[in-house]
Structure 1
Amino acid sequence: MKLFQRLLVAPAALGLLSPISANANEVNLNDISNYSDVENIELADSFNNNPSIESTLLAGGEGLVDTSYDGGFSTTTTASFSVDMAIGAVDGNTTSEALTAVYGYQMDLSTSFTGEDTLAAALKAGSNQSALAQLDLNSTTNDALTVDGISYTFPLGDKLTVLVGDSTSGSALYSTACVYGGFTNTLDDCGNFSTAFTATGHAVAGTVGFSAAYDIGNGFTGAVGYNGQGSDAAGLGTIEGTDFVGGQLTYTADNYGVSITYADLDVATGWGLNGYYTFASNLPSVSVGYEFGEVEQVGADDQETTQWFVGLQWDELGNGTLGVALGSDGPQNEGVDEDMAYEVFYTYNVNDSMTITPALFIIEHNQAGAEDETGVVVKTSFSF
């Protein structure tokens, strides 16, 4: 077991954490290899599958907390890992109807310098999954481990929190009023695809992101966000570049919440309305969303779009969670028949670190010549 700990901690700490530690100490390889022999520190228990203690990788830096170790690593640095493996097929898919197996892997690293801030980096990898693209298992990486985003979050006073980062969504600190945990890409945005410009929605890949949230009080929170292209060819805030900016106001009570979101997406604008209600009994929570916007058209009137969503979720049904949802398949142009999306899933908790989710989803295409898609998938997820 000690050999496994040494093999795990040394390359992970040196290869991944050292490059992003701006104030790292000189690494002592003997200290790293002997890390598993250190007694009386809680984090050693994490390698024994103790779910109550978060797995921690230590990274260099003086003055972080009083419990830092000379020549070693700070206990403020943590790592979490997730693996998704899925097998399924989609009848009517234009790419392939064959039974397909795919995977997605993600590593999230974070550290704190003051106890209130967070420097975070995400790395991801996944297999090509065009037939099962509704699952969003990091398929764009094509089996290569890539940096998914780096961000720094810090407080300004007691009520304001700020986040800046690269390849980070401008809506990262939004609090959209939705408690439905969707299974597919289409329905997991709660009908807020455009206005809450997220990494799976209208974010510009590889861009600079800024987000800030303010606790107004009495259940109200406000947030603003920005995404812009920081490359030499485009530049932030230029005509050549793409810039998204938006804001959100949210009210949250004990068992319900509402939010209103606005976004200017360079060539489009939109408003999003969301709300949810949770019952005290065994009834499911209800989440709804509606979005409307306008897209600029060259030489023509602006194109109006709408999107809507309804999701029901039973959080404690047996040993898992049941979800059912329907809505439009993304923003739909006014005046045409809507493409619809439906899904049902059940996430079964095998243990604290493993879940199995069978799911069925349907994409209903109402345009001439388009075939409906019906997908049946079983996904196994690990977190550690």
Structure 2
Amino acid sequence: MQLFRQLLVAPAAIGLLAPLAVVNSPAAHAADLNINSVSDYTDVANSEEQVTSITQFSDVYPTDWAYQALASLIERYGCVAGYPNGTFGGNRAMTRYEAAALLNACLDRITEVTDELRRLIKEFEKELAIIRGRVDGLEARVGELEATQFSTTTKLSGFTNFVAGATKAKGDNFRFEKGGVGARDDYNRSWGAFTFSYDLRLSLKTSFTGKDLLFTRLRAGNMGRTSTWTGGGVLMNTLNTAAPGGNVLGVDRLYYRFPLGSSFTIQAGPLTRNTEMMGYKPSAYAKGGQTVLDFFGGSLGVPGVWNKETGGGFGAIYSNKSNVSKGDPYWTLAANYVADAGEASDGNPTTGGIMTDNSEANFTSQIAYGNKQWGLALGYRYGQCGARFRTATEYAFSESFGTPCSVATGTFIDGDGEEQDILERSGASSNSFSFNAFWRPEDSGWMPSISAGLGKSYLNGNSTWDDFTSKRGMASWMVGLTWTDVLMKSNALGYAVGQPQFVYDDEDFVADGGYAMELWYKFQVADNISVTPSVYWLSRPLGDFTQNYKGDYKSFGVFGGVIQTVFKF
């Protein structure tokens, strides 16, 4: 306690006791002691008219070297008094009697504070014991985690989605060829069964500096090419959670991301995705919910640009977010190059490789402006022949992907005497543009968030490629609404409508247009478990193949119902 008191009165000792050496010197005489002054000082120090502000002293100024020490004693402890004439007398020598009076007043105040603290500690003794127990428990848990964690640099998270549901074709049962099975019956016979599938993702996030990220994702599923949910039957049927098949765990994402200065981020890897290098997602659709169709979810209604190409590549992202106030809108500019995974690892330049004519590569860029509440973005993607548009009508898919990237321009006889075609690169490519915007209210209520996307694509090629396509222009659009905290907190409701990639021409703008719409509701069962039932309708997913059957207008659509149960850990 003596040491504690000495620390508290240190300012007084430094600022006021220095002159004692002069008082105690041989030159000091008993006559120098003014007992009346000491008595006056003591009376004022013990009176109720205590000095409460240093400004009450007429002879103390902010430029004085002990000004801060004196102010602290007055304002924090109230144990400093002056003389009856309103002065402090800071430049005059201090007697032992004056020092004793000052120290006694300060020690009395310190004793009062100490007694008050004792009373508070005793009053909240139970609460302090509870807090102490919680701290001890946290220390034990932290120690246990440190002892059992598999890595000090890597964090593991998991996502599992159980997908149960079925689809059914509706409309005319027309036949594409004489004697063939009707389109409706053929679909229901091949794709109409109720199925139960899963999508499992294990993400490993590793950081070596605290600012970089080595991202590895392991994925497994039992969907694959034979599943309805991966575009079986019609491409527009693809779900956003469509997983690979075979029940085999494999690496489907592997890249490294690191900052370059305060505004740039670089990402590169053998399994990176172009849409994950955009730096900004200009959509609020299904935020807080669970997406259903891939067209509305991962493709944002513009599959020409947001085609989710994955493979070997690299990208750069610029953002001035760190230079603006929190919550204010900011700029994001991104550009990346991704070659298809199958071609990126192919060492033969005539069939694959990086930066070759046969890479099936995508150059994607986006400029965006906004924050978490609203945003706008313009996107562009250049795709080599074979680079996918992702979700489209069957007619648009055949027009863009059914065209060959290499054509035969002649023949030659090989060493075995066999005739072989002379293949020439067709030079086919595509240019796609997109515009996305979103807005969401600050508070949940009857007003939903609104997300919209509009895309347009053009096919290009040389004269050799012209013979394989009849239409060059394609378009897509979507509008999505999301309500949060519906009926219960953390539950969400969503609805979206739009047209996946379709072919158009000047004479008949909607020659190939097929509509898609979905409705879903997410139940938050627990913190890490949610259940989302949903229904959707695909109007004329065959596109122009439906309308042009024998010149008659025919109807053909697919109705789907899906329940997704998501577990996160």
Tell me the TM-score range normalised by the shorter chain: 0.7 to 0.9
**Per-residue deviation, residues 38-85 of structure 1 (Å, max 9, x unmatched):** 973538579xxxxxxxxx9533xxxxxxxxxxxxxx1x2110111111
* 2:142 matched residue in structure 1: 42
* 2:46 matched residue in structure 1: none
| Paired amino acid for 2:441 | F
**Per-residue deviation, residues 96-150 of structure 1 (Å, max 9, x unmatched):** 2121111111110111100000111101111136223333445423211111110
Deviation at 1:249, TM superposition (A): 0.5
Q: Is contact 2:502–2:512 with CA below 8 Å preserved after alignment?
A: no
Corresponding pairs, count = 317
The reply on whether 1:238 has 2:356 as its aligned counterpart is yes
* 2:283 matched residue in structure 1: 178
Find 1:221's aligned residue among 332, 350, 353: 332
Distance change (3 Å), C-alpha of 1:325 and 1:44: farther
Distance, in Å, in 1 between the alignment partners of 2:518 and 2:537 is 6
Determine helix, strand or coil for the equivalent of 1:172. Answer: helix
**Per-residue deviation, residues 253-308 of structure 1 (Å, max 9, x unmatched):** 46311000011112100110000011235210000000011012522676011100
State the Cα RMSD in Å.
Answer: 2.4
Determine helix, strand or coil for the equivalent of 1:372. Answer: strand
| Paired amino acid for 2:168 | D
* 2:158 matched residue in structure 1: 81
| Paired amino acid for 1:245 | F
| Paired amino acid for 1:246 | T
1:106-255 to 2 correspondence within 5 Å? Answer: 106-128=201-223, 130-133=227-230, 134-174=238-278, 175-181=280-286, 182-188=291-297, 189-198=299-308, 203=309, 205=310, 207-216=311-320, 219-228=330-339, 229-230=343-344, 231-233=346-348, 234-253=352-371, 255=373
Distance, in Å, in 1 between the alignment partners of 2:155 and 2:460 is 45
* 1:304 matched residue in structure 2: 473
* 2:567 matched residue in structure 1: 382
Determine helix, strand or coil for the equivalent of 1:140. Answer: coil
Deviation at 1:156, TM superposition (A): 0.5
Q: Is contact 1:58–1:78 with CA below 8 Å preserved after alignment?
A: no
| Paired amino acid for 1:190 | L
Determine helix, strand or coil for the equivalent of 2:229. Answer: helix
**Per-residue deviation, residues 201-224 of structure 1 (Å, max 9, x unmatched):** xx1x5x202122101455111111
Distance, in Å, in 2 between the alignment partners of 1:43 and 1:303 is 64
Deviation at 1:180, TM superposition (A): 0.6
Deviation at 1:164, TM superposition (A): 0.7
Deviation at 1:240, TM superposition (A): 2.4
Q: Is contact 1:57–1:78 with CA below 8 Å preserved after alignment?
A: no
Q: Is contact 2:474–2:501 with CA below 8 Å preserved after alignment?
A: no
| Paired amino acid for 1:304 | G
* Unaligned ranges ≥5, structure 2: 1-137, 170-186, 231-237, 325-329, 385-428, 548-553
* 1:268 matched residue in structure 2: 430
The reply on whether 1:324 has 2:421 as its aligned counterpart is no
Distance, in Å, in 2 between the alignment partners of 1:263 and 1:328 is 19
Q: Is contact 1:354–1:382 with CA below 8 Å preserved after alignment?
A: yes
> Mean Cα displacement is larger for which, 151-160 or 163-172?
163-172
* 2:183 matched residue in structure 1: none
| Paired amino acid for 1:187 | F
Distance, in Å, in 2 between the alignment partners of 1:58 and 1:315 is 37
* 1:91 matched residue in structure 2: 168
Distance change (3 Å), C-alpha of 1:57 and 1:359: farther
Q: Is contact 2:515–2:538 with CA below 8 Å preserved after alignment?
A: yes
* 1:259 matched residue in structure 2: 377
* 1:287 matched residue in structure 2: 451
Find 2:439's aligned residue among 277, 287, 296: 277
Distance change (3 Å), C-alpha of 1:211 and 1:171: farther
| Paired amino acid for 1:323 | G
- Give the number of the structure whose residues are more often helix, by fraction: 2
Deviation at 1:344, TM superposition (A): 0.5
> Mean Cα displacement is larger for which, 170-179 or 241-250?
170-179
Distance change (3 Å), C-alpha of 1:254 and 1:243: closer
Q: Which has the larger radius of gyration?
A: 2
* 2:100 matched residue in structure 1: none
| Paired amino acid for 1:191 | G
Aligned sequence identity (%): 24
Deviation at 1:186, TM superposition (A): 2.1
Distance change (3 Å), C-alpha of 1:287 and 1:82: same
